[in-house]
Structure 1
Amino acid sequence: MIVCSCNVFSDHQVRDALANTAGVRSAGEVYRCLGCSPQCGRCARTIKAILDQVHGSCAECPAACPGASLSTKLIAAE
């Protein structure tokens, strides 16, 4: 789904940015990772929800999960 109509990026692109860049913790950092900046700001809530979903799901992730190493890096960066 399209998350940002102004910059035209999808939820898949947000998730890819989170998976490929350790330490991304805010909507502003997601914009920078995607090479853009906020325009109208309507998408910030959706980006925050995706961030919470990704970080929340990895916090309970078993060690065998491929995302577990990313979760460890993200927690260490806090």
Structure 2
Amino acid sequence: MIVCSCNVLSDRDVRSAVEAERTRSTSRVYGCLGCSAKCGRCARTIRRIMDEALGGALPPATAGAQSSQP
């Protein structure tokens, strides 16, 4: 399914970039795919795909920072 009409990116493209880079940054996903955000309407969908691909887990640095608070 096409998730970004401006750059013609599919959900498979996004998943591949997320799994290769293990990133939670939409701009990094675009960069990995050789493009950049245009209108931004796909950002929420890309974020959802990233969350699904990474299992919704927080990155280790973030998880550690949250757990150290009282």
User: TM-score normalized by structure 1?
Assistant: 0.68
Alignment RMSD (CA, Å)? 1.9
Task: Give the unaligned 5+ runs of structure 2.
Answer: 63-70
Which structure 1 residue ranges, 4+ long, deviate > 6 Å from structure 2? none
Structure 2 counterparts to residues 36-47 of structure 1, below 5 A: 36-47=35-46
Q: Distance in 2 between matches of 1:54 and 1:21?
A: 11
User: TM-score normalized by structure 2?
Assistant: 0.75
Task: Give the unaligned 5+ runs of structure 1.
Answer: 60-73
Q: Distance in 2 between matches of 1:35 and 1:45?
A: 19
Question: Sequence identity of aligned pairs in percent?
Answer: 58
Q: Distance in 1 between matches of 2:61 and 2:35?
A: 23
What is the one-letter code of the residue matched to 1:28?
Answer: S
Local SS of the residue matching 1:6: coil
Count, aligned residues: 62
